[in-house]
Structure 1
Amino acid sequence: MPPTLLRRPLAVAPDPAVVFGALARGAESAFWLDSGPGATTGRSYLGLPVAVHRCRDWSELYEVLQDAGSADPEPLPFAGATTVNPESLPSADADTSPRFRLGWVGWLAYELGLPDAPRPTDLRGDAAVLLRVDEAVEFDHDTGTVTLLALDSPTAVDWLARTATTLESLPRGTAAAPTGPAPTLEARPRHDYPAYAAMIEACKATIARGDAYQLCLTNEFAVDVHPDPLETYLALRAASPSHHGGYLTVGGTSLLSSSPEQFLAVTADGRVRSKPIKGTRPRGAGPVDDALLVRELAASQKERAENLMIVDLVRNDLSRVCALGSVAVPTLLEVETYPQVHQLVSTIEGILAEGRNGLDAVAACFPAGSMTGAPKRSAVHTLAALEGGPRGIYSGVFGYFSRDGALDLAMVIRSIVLDDHGATVGAGGGITALSEPVDEVEETRVKAAVLLAVLGAASPEPVGRSAPTLPLASAAPREHAKL
């Protein structure tokens, strides 16, 4: 039989940042899946792994997730299929969010790619990294409770007791958020702005030939800096709070993310959900400006068209692994508001077909259409030729794979990657036939700005351009693509 999941509620609810500092500061490998400071919904998880698995391709990823370990003779859900009876599923208004019952936490780099595509030879780092997790701390932000989770083992009861004593004695209140250093450094873009503008024109030419409908072009900004990863993440979550944030450190590589986008969630009973974002506006200076920006985003023909293209792409991807007729779009082109931005979000849902599991759904949808464009296969090859280098962890996904077959993965956007070479930040946008190069160039700068500021850096100024400005409600409507 698989080991029992032990749970120990804490008598108090310490702040996640305080808990993480107490348990994981200085650890070689650690994770924190973070719903953000002051979260009132969702769940956060943090802890230390018992093992680290590095994967080069999809076959190795499947092998890791199918291995229950020598102490567990029962196969795990990712080893076989999730069989779902649609009649037995809970009602649509029930809580159908996945939960982490321990298992694996990690990231899949963008270049893990299409399951049948060759790996690039110049990928820096691993195509996928998974941390095996047998113990964790769960924060339920809906109820305000904190629970310790552990797989039953000879050491589990002792770990629960020791950890509860440690966490219940922590200081009350929230941790003070550090601020990033003064911006004294200049980031180096992989492609300078004239070159990037030329790449945008090349994308438009590809679209004009009918070889693509949309191409999600990206750039990378490098900074020669080696900051403390946890302090940098705490500064990032304060500057750019998000409901799908995360901190993962593995050896010498750290992912610090303020991602707003859910790539894919699968419940243990086989419900699948994806929430792609296409369309972003900044928050307004006041309520009137804010409301105007919401209306502008909701009415933007360009943003709506981009979002619809990605919705169709995700529907097609999910139809390969979901029961016939189960794929639906319960919310389309909905504006969601967050502390810094308004975003145009759609929700696509389905029910896994008999013989399919959550990892099959990930493989069917990866890489995310919101990071490639459409059609996906030709977009991936076109972008690889144009961008001239791997995206790495950026544009991939991160999150958890639970032992009960559930999973929840976020997009690696609005993120910083730290390694022995320094820091990198990716940013870009969806290119369509209507895209203007000068606006798309500016968009990458605006999106990278808060991330670079946390590192004490700024992107170089385009020749003949002043500092970037966000659109004002009183200005003529301006189209923005999300990435």
Structure 2
Amino acid sequence: MSNKVSASTKAQLLPYASATELLHAVRHLPDPILLDSCHPSDNAGRFSIACATPTEVLEIHSAAELLLLEKLRQPLPPLTAPEIQHLPFTGGWMGYWSYDAGRLFEQLPQQAEDDLALPLIRMGLYPWALVTDHQLQQTWLVGSFNPELAEQLLQHLQASPIQVADEADFQLTNPFVSNLSHQAYLEHFEQVQAWLRSGDAYQVNLAQRFTASYKGSLYQAWQQLRSDINAPWAAFMQWQDKALLSLSPERFLLAEPDGRVETRPIKGTRPRGQTPEEDQHYRDELLHSAKDRAENLMIVDLLRNDLGRVCEPGSIRVPQLFALESHTNVHHLVSHVTGQLAPGKHPLDLLQACFPGGSITGAPKLRAMEIIETLEPCRRSIYCGSIGYLDRSGRMDFNIAIRTFIASDNQLHVWGGGGLVADSDGQTEYEETFHKVSWLIRCLQPTFPD
């Protein structure tokens, strides 16, 4: 297949379509992807993007194939139509980098089981995209496409996305079960505490994985999740018999064509309350928690250091520290770090320098990742990796793939984790991992315990 996007690019205005309708329009085509903002009232959630039928697929399984990443640096023909210059994606590379892609850039132990055995990186070169601007209530078909494709997509957009008669209904065939018992988690917690006391690390993110078997339509599963949950960096990605269903609240990295970059690390979580008074209590508790603020600051410092590897000296700023963001079922403490790429640096340099995100590893990053590999029984795969794109304009945007289901071999996997520090409490941290996933799982398995 060609590794070029055709220079005969176009832009066609279509009737306004929701994110659900965008996915419905492309889901029967090869390798469909939806990046779903879910927060149209917020500038970060202004756009939803759907793609399918890549002209090339890049898969990297080991460091021996690392040079293939250079394809992501190759310039693509620009799309110069002035009426769509505000759109974030008009064609380019889109896909995922797994957490374990960090092995391509760092030496890490080989201890946890790689039972999912998915590519470390999978990116498709998409020549066209459906992009909805929720603020302007516009939907565009942009890129390289023929009239037949435009007509086909328009017909799907105008059809009801609820009708899925050609697919078996989604259902779980076994309930979700953790790969760590309560006792095993507490034992691992104590091992982390010993490393923290010895000075090996200041913070370590420890997670457990929940797995269930399923049958039927993953598109239906996504619809169930999205009907209950809003998330600003959500994504649905399907290929072969695999899929990602991500309800991520966290942006990892944004790089603008002019070199401006930002990251928005999350560190600090509380559940939503059952009453307005209880909800306000959790908000206040999180905002005034010295422990959560210290953890957040630790990750901000780590990310400032990561950005400093590729940004102009003196350009890194922290315009927002310890801001509260509220989502469907949790409150988060979020900070905002910005910088300016140094001359000659590509967004790919930024992604490699910062990968994986410090908010889901710990600090120092490499030592925390070594500890994670030692304690967690299975590799994280795409959990805590990133889903996103490199646009033909030079724009890059990736999430942190938390609150994310991986579908593989008729099994669904989802993780819950949290950052551990010296004054963490084992039982509290264990319960927090359940807070982070129980509301996700109950969308598909209502009987899942609190």
TM range (shorter): 0.7 to 0.9
Provide the residue aligned with 2:37 in structure 1: 35
Q: Indicate conservation of the 8 Å contact 1:190/1:221, yes or no.
A: yes
Instruction: Using the TM superposition, give the Cα deviation of residue 185 of structure 1 relative to its aligned residue in structure 2, in angstroms.
Output: 4.2
Once residues 8 and 163 of structure 1 are traced to their aligned partners in structure 2, the CA distance between those partners, rounded to angstroms, is: 13
Return closer, same or farther for 1:97/1:213 CA change in 2, 3 Å cut-off.
Answer: farther
Q: Indicate conservation of the 8 Å contact 1:183/1:458, yes or no.
A: no
Please state whether the residue corresponding to 1:238 is helix, strand or coil: helix
Instruction: Give deviations 1:301-357, integer Å, cap 9, x for gaps.
Output: 110010000000000000000001001101011111223222110000000001211
Instruction: Give deviations 1:95-126, integer Å, cap 9, x for gaps.
Output: x9981131111111111115132585843211
Return closer, same or farther for 1:339/1:191 CA change in 2, 3 Å cut-off.
Answer: closer
Q: Report the AA paired with residue 356 of structure 1.
A: K
Once residues 208 and 237 of structure 2 are traced to their aligned partners in structure 1, the CA distance between those partners, rounded to angstroms, is: 23
Return closer, same or farther for 1:458/1:357 CA change in 2, 3 Å cut-off.
Answer: farther
Match among 20, 23, 45 for residue 23 of structure 2: 20
Please state whether the residue corresponding to 1:29 is helix, strand or coil: coil
Instruction: Give deviations 1:449-477, integer Å, cap 9, x for gaps.
Output: 12322332766xxxxxxx53xxxxxxxxx
Once residues 216 and 446 of structure 2 are traced to their aligned partners in structure 1, the CA distance between those partners, rounded to angstroms, is: 12
TM-score in terms of structure 2 length: 0.88
Match among 117, 137, 142 for residue 135 of structure 2: 142
Once residues 329 and 176 of structure 1 are traced to their aligned partners in structure 2, the CA distance between those partners, rounded to angstroms, is: 47
Q: Report the AA paired with residue 139 of structure 2.
A: V
Return closer, same or farther for 1:117/1:42 CA change in 2, 3 Å cut-off.
Answer: farther
Provide the residue aligned with 1:133 in structure 2: 126
Instruction: Using the TM superposition, give the Cα deviation of residue 448 of structure 1 relative to its aligned residue in structure 2, in angstroms.
Output: 1.7
Once residues 367 and 230 of structure 1 are traced to their aligned partners in structure 2, the CA distance between those partners, rounded to angstroms, is: 28
Q: Indicate conservation of the 8 Å contact 1:111/1:120, yes or no.
A: no
Match among 7, 10, 22 for residue 6 of structure 1: 10
Instruction: Summarize the alignment of residues 29-428 of structure 1 with structure 2, pairs less than 5 Å apart.
Output: 29-36=31-38, 41-50=45-54, 51-57=56-62, 60=65, 63-64=68-69, 66=71, 75-76=74-75, 99-114=88-103, 115-117=105-107, 120=110, 122-123=113-114, 124-151=117-144, 156-159=145-148, 161-163=150-152, 165-166=154-155, 169-170=158-159, 185-428=174-417
Q: Report the AA paired with residue 196 of structure 1.
A: Y
Please state whether the residue corresponding to 1:326 is helix, strand or coil: coil
Q: Indicate conservation of the 8 Å contact 1:452/1:458, yes or no.
A: no
Once residues 274 and 390 of structure 2 are traced to their aligned partners in structure 1, the CA distance between those partners, rounded to angstroms, is: 40
Q: 5+ residue gaps in structure 1?
A: 69-74, 78-95, 460-466, 469-483
Return closer, same or farther for 1:227/1:183 CA change in 2, 3 Å cut-off.
Answer: closer
Please state whether the residue corresponding to 2:215 is helix, strand or coil: coil
Q: Report the AA paired with residue 418 of structure 1.
A: A
Once residues 45 and 426 of structure 1 are traced to their aligned partners in structure 2, the CA distance between those partners, rounded to angstroms, is: 25
Q: Indicate conservation of the 8 Å contact 1:150/1:160, yes or no.
A: no
Instruction: Using the TM superposition, give the Cα deviation of residue 143 of structure 1 relative to its aligned residue in structure 2, in angstroms.
Output: 1.2
Q: Indicate conservation of the 8 Å contact 1:54/1:130, yes or no.
A: yes
Q: Report the AA paired with residue 31 of structure 1.
A: I
Once residues 16 and 8 of structure 1 are traced to their aligned partners in structure 2, the CA distance between those partners, rounded to angstroms, is: 18
Instruction: Give deviations 1:134-155, integer Å, cap 9, x for gaps.
Output: 111001112111000123xxxx
Return closer, same or farther for 1:22/1:165 CA change in 2, 3 Å cut-off.
Answer: closer
Provide the residue aligned with 1:443 in structure 2: 432
Return closer, same or farther for 1:59/1:141 CA change in 2, 3 Å cut-off.
Answer: farther
Identity fraction in percent: 32
Instruction: Give deviations 1:183-239, integer Å, cap 9, x for gaps.
Output: 884322111110111001111111011111000001111112234111111111122
Provide the residue aligned with 1:480 in structure 2: none
Return closer, same or farther for 1:230/1:61 CA change in 2, 3 Å cut-off.
Answer: farther
Please state whether the residue corresponding to 1:130 is helix, strand or coil: strand
Please state whether the residue corresponding to 2:23 is helix, strand or coil: helix
Provide the residue aligned with 1:455 in structure 2: 444
Once residues 97 and 290 of structure 1 are traced to their aligned partners in structure 2, the CA distance between those partners, rounded to angstroms, is: 37
Q: Report the AA paired with residue 52 of structure 1.
A: V
Instruction: Using the TM superposition, give the Cα deviation of residue 17 of structure 1 relative to its aligned residue in structure 2, in angstroms.
Output: 1.1
Instruction: Using the TM superposition, give the Cα deviation of residue 290 of structure 1 relative to its aligned residue in structure 2, in angstroms.
Output: 2.6
Q: Report the AA paired with residue 265 of structure 2.
A: P
Return closer, same or farther for 1:355/1:449 CA change in 2, 3 Å cut-off.
Answer: same
Return closer, same or farther for 1:46/1:119 CA change in 2, 3 Å cut-off.
Answer: farther
Q: Which moved more, 1:431-440 or 1:257-266?
A: 431-440
Q: Indicate conservation of the 8 Å contact 1:223/1:422, yes or no.
A: yes
Once residues 355 and 403 of structure 1 are traced to their aligned partners in structure 2, the CA distance between those partners, rounded to angstroms, is: 17
TM-score in terms of structure 1 length: 0.82
Q: CA RMSD in A?
A: 2.8
Q: 5+ residue gaps in structure 2?
A: 77-84
Q: Aligned residues, how many?
A: 428
Instruction: Using the TM superposition, give the Cα deviation of residue 49 of structure 1 relative to its aligned residue in structure 2, in angstroms.
Output: 2.7
Instruction: Using the TM superposition, give the Cα deviation of residue 434 of structure 1 relative to its aligned residue in structure 2, in angstroms.
Output: 1.2
Once residues 20 and 98 of structure 1 are traced to their aligned partners in structure 2, the CA distance between those partners, rounded to angstroms, is: 18
Once residues 137 and 404 of structure 1 are traced to their aligned partners in structure 2, the CA distance between those partners, rounded to angstroms, is: 16
Q: Indicate conservation of the 8 Å contact 2:26/2:153, yes or no.
A: no
Instruction: Give deviations 1:75-103, integer Å, cap 9, x for gaps.
Output: 417xxxxxxxxxxxxxxxxxx99811311
Instruction: Give deviations 1:237-257, integer Å, cap 9, x for gaps.
Output: 122211111100111210001
Return closer, same or farther for 1:4/1:308 CA change in 2, 3 Å cut-off.
Answer: farther
